[in-house]
């Protein structure tokens, strides 16, 4: 059984009778179903690490899944630029580390998805340093917790040119299009099945 808790993506999972939404989680779930695995999605669009901390015990630790997959970080960067509500890289990493420390005894496998941005405006180019520090934190945490690291930012940015540009994968730079979700799911599956 796989378990995918947090995503910064606008998944309308609450309207989906299966609770998966219409994004990359649904694509992964369809692929894993053929292997006899089920997927639960408790992601809430817009969540930051601090939001996960508030609901971690109920939404995550109370589950009997074998695999935990986390995508968090872009909102921790975005809020700095749209609401003047920054999360320092140090606070991000400390909060994320706390979540993983609590989760480790409950899950056989942990998957950390690199937070990503596909800039479509000049202003988003200013996000690079803030996001990079969080991406580096995620990479450190993956090493420290022997987790699988999904290189979503690196791979999506590398693919964008051949697939019609950044907006073809995420029309606002953050939220994937249908094509972006398909590519993100493929990147996730490749990393997890490697």
* C-beta separation of 63 from 40 below 8 A: yes
How many domains does the chain contain in total? Answer: 1
Distances (CA, A) of 8 to 3, 35, 77, 131, 143: 16, 27, 11, 14, 22
Q: Which domain holds residue 105?
A: 2-193
Q: State the pLDDT at residue 1.
A: 33
Mean pLDDT of the chain: 89
- Residue 21 pLDDT more than 50? yes
Q: State the pLDDT at residue 13.
A: 42
Q: State the pLDDT at residue 120.
A: 97
| Residue labelled with tokens 């059984």 | 1
How many residues are there in the chain?
Answer: 194
DSSP, collapsed to helix, strand or coil, labels residue 183 as helix
- Residue 175 pLDDT more than 70? yes
In this prediction, residues 85-108 reach a mean pLDDT of: 96
Distances (CA, A) of 165 to 135, 171, 178, 179: 22, 10, 14, 11
Closest CA to 138 of 88, 173, 89, 82: 89
CATH code for position 133: 3.40.50.1110
At 137-158, the pLDDT tens digits run 999 999 999 999 999 999 999 9
Q: State the pLDDT at residue 99.
A: 97
Q: State the pLDDT at residue 45.
A: 84
Tokens of 111: 């998957």
């Amino acid at each position: 059984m796989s378990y995918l808790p947090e995503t910064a993506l606008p998944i309308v999972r609450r309207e989906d009778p299966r609770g998966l939404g219409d994004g990359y989680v649904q694509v992964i779930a369809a692929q894993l179903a053929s292997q006899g695995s089920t997927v639960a999605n408790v992601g809430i669009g817009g969540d930051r690490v601090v939001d996960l901390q508030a609901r971690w015990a109920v939404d995550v630790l109370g589950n009997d899944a074998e695999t935990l997959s986390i995508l968090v970080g872009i909102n921790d960067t975005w809020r700095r630029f749209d609401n003047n509500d920054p999360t320092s890289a140090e606070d991000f990493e400390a909060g994320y580390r706390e979540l993983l420390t609590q989760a480790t005894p409950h899950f056989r496998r942990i998957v950390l998805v690199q937070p990503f941005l596909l800039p479509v405006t000049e202003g988003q180019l200013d996000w690079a340093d803030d996001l990079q520090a969080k991406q580096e934190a995620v990479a450190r945490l993956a090493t420290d917790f022997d987790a699988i690291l999904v290189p979503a930012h690196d791979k999506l940015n590398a693919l964008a040119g051949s697939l019609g540009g950044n907006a073809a994968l995420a029309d606002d730079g953050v939220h994937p299009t249908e094509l972006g979700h398909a590519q993100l799911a493929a990147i996730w599956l490749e990393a997890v099945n490697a």
